[in-house]
Structure 1
Amino acid sequence: MADNGGRREEGEYNLFTFPFSSKELNAMNDRYFFTLIPMKKRLPALLCGLSCLLAISCKKSGGGTVAGGSTVGGGTVNQDTVGTLKSVANAGFPFGLAIEYALFKQNEAYANLVKREASVVTFGYQMKHGAIVKDDGSFNFSGADELLTLCSNAGLEVYGHTLAWHQNQNGNYLRSLTTGGSGGPNLLPSGDLEAGSSGTGSTLFTGWNCLVGGTASANFAAVAGNNSARAMQVTVTTPGANAYDVQSIGTAFTANTGSVYRVSVDIKASVANGKVRLVMQNTAYQQLDITPTAAWDTYSWNVTVNESSPMLRLNFPASGTYTIDNISITDLSSAPPPAAAQVTTAVDSAMSRFIRTMVTRYAGKVKAWDVVNEPMMDGSSGLRTNTGTTTGDLFYWSQYLGRDYALKAFQYAKAADPNALLFINEYNLESNTAKLDSLIAYVNELKAKGAKIDGIGTQMHIGINTATSGIDNAFKKLAATGLKLRVSELDVRINPGDNSNFTAGPSELTAQANMYRYVLNSFLQNVPQAQRHGFTVWGVADSDSWILTSQKKTDAPLLFDNNYGKKQAFYSLLLGLKGK
């Protein structure tokens, strides 16, 4: 059994395991028949009670049959296996699961299980910055849109995760906003598109050759630009078989081979899923695809040029109307460092654009969001920040925007959808009191500054050895804020010691079931019903848990085994949600 600090909850005892210590017997819940019997007389009474349980163990109860004599939550014989987790969650909050895009789309057993057991789902990755934002700063919603449609068609509500985090971001794009400056003069002066005639082709925009060929049907025109008199407008009625069938070719410029150049261009489009392809080519070929939005936006491409006289080409391989303006190419190797104010403005703009675009796009479909994720440090805690360099998907908003980065994030989300519930989400609150207190203090600070914070998510990536007193303490302190609370990412490691030759046995599975049940019971006991927003387990089957796939641990932390079979932990939660 898990060490519960000297006390146990209903359903957490395996009555068929001997011997019991006097401490264990004294700690048992008063629902059991021997609680008031003097200690020296308890064993006969216990044996009598056990014979009664054995006598009924083969009978039906509550419409369900005994599941092969298995124990539930390490306690009484499981006599009630009827129902799904979502159908019995009658405590005023939905039951949820975190899901993965490829599995939900391609694995029928996985998808059917999710549809059967959950009423709300959280995307493990598809709504994060790194999944949406491309290297040029443009957005690709295809994966998120498809998964949301699949879930909506299945009657599943989607919880939004996550808008401002320091991981799972397009770090390359965000760091490009903080390094380099203008890079000196524009090497493509014709990129302002101001010179030209009212004709077509090479005479329409000086320095550009606008072409339509193959099977494509399209036309070029000069229109008012982004704070300029002229811009290039391309209307593609029928795309060609090749991306270059509709293209505009710029003048070659002189480059230093091996140097990094920044291509910057303002674009807007009439369609949501259009495409503009930037191509750097003379003899070598490099490309970047952009999916522009309906509003003017600036897209940047840092490209290492490997020839001395390249040309920038604009290809239009998709239907729609595209307006292009303010094209520049600058040499970053000669760029002075940007001023601090420029960096702050650029980073703030990138965060605002991502949050506003996401929340606006899914308004009414996603009714609650993790706006700020994991803002506090571990250890003695305090606000998470970074003073060194970052690589990969890491980027710390607070490093450039200070303590108020979270305030800005909540303000942007509220402006995009005033009706959405907005949460702050954190881990280790049940095991680190300093972090718990720091988070609550930060939430109070943000609210005092006017942030709309509706709730707090406590992730709860825990193990069978997690101290239950810390779980109780976290729920009590969080409930005292008066905000909504959700168990947002629960999983229970069964091998927290990382034993390399570990195999889960009956005792570990029982301890895991105990811990899942304990979290649920503590949530119900310590959080008022009006504040309970949800209870989500972070994953479906053990084999697809992030603890195995990302952390590469040997473990079995979820409710379903590798074959999608129900584990003891499932039945423990099922009974707990039924209030039994």
Structure 2
Amino acid sequence: MKYTNKILLGALAVGALSGCTDDSMLPYDVGAKPESLSQYEYLNNYDVLKSYVDRTENPNFKLGIALAATDYINGDQVYSLACSNFDEMTAGNEMKYASIVSDDGTMNFSTVTSFIDAARQAGMTIYGHTLAWHSQQNNTYLNSLIAPIVIPGEAGNGGYCMILKNATASANIWDAQTWYQLPTPLQSGTTYTLSFMARASAAYNDTQIYLQCSDGGNQEYPGGFNVGTEWQQINFTFTPTGATVDKIAFNFGTAAINIYIDNVSLTGGSATESLIPNGDFEDGTITGWTGWTPGNFETISEDGEGYSEGGSEPAYDESVITSSDFENGIGSWGGWGGSATRGQSAQGGGYESDYSFEIVNPTASANAWDVQVAWDFAAPLVQGGTYRLNMMIKGSVEGSITAGLQRKSDYAGAGDFPAIPISTEWTEYNAEITVNGGGADCADRFLFSIGNYAGTINIDNITLCYLNPEGGGGGQTIEMTPEEKKDTLTWAMDNWIKGMMEACGGYVTTWEAANETVSGADADGDGWYDLQSATNGDPETNFYWQDYLGNEDYVPIVTKAAERYFAEYGGNPADLKLFVNDYNLESWWDGNQKLKSLIHWIEVWEANGAKIDGIGTQMHVSYILNEADQKAQEDAIVNMFQLMAATGKLIKISELDMGIVEKAFGEGIKTENVTFDQQLKMAEFYQFIIDKYFEIIPAAQRYGITQWCITDSPAESGWRGGEPVGLWDLNYSRKPAYGGFANGLAGEVIVEPSASVSNE
């Protein structure tokens, strides 16, 4: 006698199938039937899964399966099983960003279009998985879009310059001095700007600019400057008070050093051109410059040692001061002393922007350090490293303040910047400093000392950047602003969605707009779990779009692009359904807080214009043999469905699969170690989940259920490797899980496990 077995798909004759059915049967001899197989006989009495869906009560319900699109396209067992048992398919990976976008940004949708063609021919629908996610992105391409712009430098030198030379260091800075003799004195009370390029044979933090008089009278000090070994721009704005100031002097006596000066310009007053002619020294002379002993401290360079335009800027790392443009507040800036206040300016108070950092010191004090404004670094600066400070600054009155580095633990100084002149108009300040002090943690705080200044100071676009010796100095590195990064990545997301919608041509009407957006922690203490981010995730592996697009705008950007291009490429706008999908929404350990947080974020996104039609719950669950833990899990599933139903949105179980564990959070039991009785418990849990879905979710909100794993997972699989997560085993034989799944769809136990199959 022969026994007809519907456990196996019998897809060996797939090529001869006239339609998608699950009625192929493979015979085997009952007499040879092992005892271990007979307990599965009851499964032969089940029909295909989709036959148990009540289509009258659930006309729009879709029973789905996840699979490899290539397996379906190939038309083998997976094709036959999918067509026989399910209405809809989710491609496991082939519709994700990393599967389509190459390192140069080109996109290949050939597998997607083949998948759609095969689905169309079989009358199957496709659930689009996924438009936006932080995982499985092409990080190489995306990070290249927002990488700093590096302008490589040439030699960095060219033509002539002036060399300030000091053979022996001395105690006084003025022991080595070179000055320019102006033909007429500067105008007292008039503001001037002195600018020049400078580099040195070694980093030097003690160079001073003096204003002097030929008659030996008045002497004034606009400030000092630090100089590194790479060319840098130096700017000073000053207002002389003496009536006979006619010398600009460089003082550099405290180091044995060569300092190279080029492109010197002095402007201000009624002068229309620089008051220092031949400031580029390209006539091969240093006419007008002299020192204590002419020729001893200054000389013209060799040709080729001067500053060369076009690439002589060194390469700097990102700013270690991250609150720089103040458009969203002042970040972590703090301070103390006097009755000074610190905050964001009124709108319109920024430098060519809406806002700036506004510091008000009502009353001057005896010492500059009596009132300070501070930024604490996330990590100490590099000992001996060169850092460049750049900012725009202005004040309500003219004056000056100082800035420097400090070690917080004992307030020891680690280097001071040249005095910062303040005028009543926005002025750019540039200066470099070499970190000095004892120990690796010698500089972990930046300070403005403003005690001597009474008035309001506005600061904008402040950066402090490390001159990376391995960063290809001699070039220029330009960081993109947060706004530029957002604009660039909005384009990239738009381009990706456009390409996908064009490839699908309106056939895929339901999309997972955003996947796994919510983390499991509330770092900011607002009562809701934060979104996934580089700060709580793995930025080496993942690409967190939301960090750049913004928490509130991330999903709206995605859904608006989906709506636009779905309609543009042949879709009926009324058919488009967009879901957000996440895991651990059934979390009993935190009272379903992740789901509550997702619902909160949906409200935020919708307030910003997002179209969100449904919520997908993944449900990668395990049956827990510990009864108390299992009961807690089942209660949380009920609560999850109740919370989801209350949203009024379409609800989809999007990635259902099941393992088995001894206790909550335990290691999954491997397939070969699971007993038949344990398989029956898993079947009962499948039935429980599906029963509760149909019981709690109103009919109008039931989008569907997708089983994530067709078969048990092979031992070498990266997804729950070696676990019994399928409805079929690896030989495509039905398991008790199949019966439990079918019972849930039918709303009743169709066949008792003890029932036998008659032999004919």
TM-score, with length taken from structure 2:
0.45
Higher helix share goes to which structure?
1
**Aligned twin of 1:397:** 545
Shift of 1:348: 1.2
**Retained in 2: the 8 A contact 1:96–1:119?**
yes
Q: Is the 8 A contact 1:130 1:393 kept in 2?
A: no
Please name the residue that 1:493 is paired with.
659
Matching residue of 1:337: 479
Is the CA contact (8 Å cut-off) linking 2:486 and 2:549 kept in structure 1?
yes
The structural deviation recorded for 1:358 is 1.4
In structure 2, the CA distance between the partners of 1:344 and 1:448, relative to structure 1 (3 Å rule), is closer
From 532, 538, 553, the equivalent of 2:721 is 553
1:253 maps to which residue?
A: none
Within the alignment, does 1:155 sit opposite 2:323 as a pair? no
User: By how many angstroms is 1:388 displaced?
Assistant: 8.4
Q: Give aligned-pair identity as a percent.
A: 32
2:577 to 397, 410, 421: 421
2:697 equivalent in structure 1:
527
Which whole-Å CA distance do the structure 2 matches of 1:357 and 1:336 have between them? Answer: 30
What aligned pairs does 1:44-443 form with structure 2 within 5 A after superposition? 70=39, 78=42, 81-90=45-54, 92=58, 93-106=61-74, 108-181=76-149, 183=151, 334-380=476-522, 381-387=529-535, 394-403=542-551, 404-417=553-566, 418-419=573-574, 420-431=576-587, 432=590, 433-443=592-602
TM-score, reference length from structure 1: 0.59
Quick one: structure 1 residues 457 and 562, their matched pair in 2 at CA, closer, same or farther if it must change by over 3 Å? same
Change beyond 3 A, Cα 1:551–1:372: same
Of Structure 1 and Structure 2, which has the larger fraction of its residues in strand?
A: 2
Q: Distance in 1 between matches of 2:48 and 2:540?
A: 40
Q: Deviations over 1:70-118 (max 9, x none)?
A: 48xxxxx958824211222225112110011343344722221111111
User: How far apart, CA to CA, are the structure 1 residues paired with 2:537 and 2:646?
Assistant: 38
The answer for the alignment partner of 2:742 in structure 1 is 574
Alpha carbons 1:183, 1:335 under 8 Å: kept: yes
Within 5 Å, which residues of 2 pair with 1:454-493?
454-465=613-624, 467-493=633-659
* Preserved CA contact (<8 Å) 1:387 1:399: no
Amino acid in the other structure paired with 2:72: F
Structure 1 unaligned runs (5+)?
1-66, 72-76, 187-258, 260-330
**Aligned in 2, Cα 1:349/1:79: closer, same or farther, shift over 3 Å?**
closer
Q: Say whether the 8 Å CA contact 2:73–2:114 is kept in structure 1.
A: no
Q: Distance in 2 between matches of 1:170 and 1:350?
A: 12
Of the structure 1 ranges 122-131 and 77-86, higher mean CA displacement relative to structure 2 is found in 77-86
Inter-partner Cα distance in structure 2 for 1:511 and 1:570: 12
Structure-2 residue corresponding to 1:242 = none
Question: Quick one: structure 1 residues 552 and 524, their matched pair in 2 at CA, closer, same or farther if it must change by over 3 Å?
Answer: closer
User: Is the 8 Å Cα contact of residues 686 and 744 (structure 2) preserved in structure 1?
Assistant: no
Indicate if the aligned counterparts of 1:371 and 1:423 stay in contact, CA closer than 8 A.
yes
Distance 1:499 1:345, change over 3 A: closer
- In the superposition, relative to structure 1, how do residues 180 and 389 fare at CA in structure 2: closer, same or farther (>3 Å)? farther
Secondary structure of residue in 2 paired with 1:576:
helix
Deviating beyond 4 angstroms after TM superposition, the runs of 4 or more aligned structure 1 residues are: 67-71, 77-80, 331-334, 388-393, 499-502
> What is the aligned counterpart of 1:503 among 664, 673, 676?
673
- Per the alignment, in what secondary structure is the counterpart of residue 713 of structure 2? helix
* In 1, Cα distance between equivalents of 2:477 and 2:608: 38
Unmatched tracts of structure 2, length 5 or more:
1-35, 155-314, 316-471, 523-528, 567-572, 625-629, 749-760
- Kindly indicate whether the alpha-carbon contact (under 8 Å) linking 1:379 and 1:434 is maintained by their aligned counterparts in 2: no
CA distance in 1, matches of 2:66, 2:723: 18
Q: Secondary structure at the match of 1:121?
A: strand
Quote how far apart the aligned CAs of 1:393 are. 5.1
Question: Equivalents in 2 of 1:85, 1:389: separation in Å?
Answer: 38
Pair 1:411–1:374, CA change in 2 (3 A): same
The one-letter code sitting in structure 2 at the alignment partner of 1:409 is: V
2:699 aligned partner, one-letter code: Q
**Aligned match of 1:15:** none
Residue aligning to 1:450: 609
Q: Which structure has the bigger radius of gyration?
A: 2
* In structure 1, C-alpha distance between the alignment counterparts of 2:637 and 2:579, rounded to whole Å: 20
Q: 1:476 to 1:119 in 2, by over 3 A?
A: same
The structure-2 alpha-carbon separation of the partners of 1:474 and 1:552, relative to structure 1 and needing over 3 Å to count, comes to closer
Q: Quick one: which amino acid aligns to residue 487 of structure 1?
A: I
- CA–CA separation in structure 2 for the residues paired with 1:499 and 1:531: 33
**1:132 shift after superposition:** 1.2
Quote the Cα distance in structure 2 between the aligned partners of 1:107 and 1:185: 57
- 2:49 counterpart letter in structure 1: L
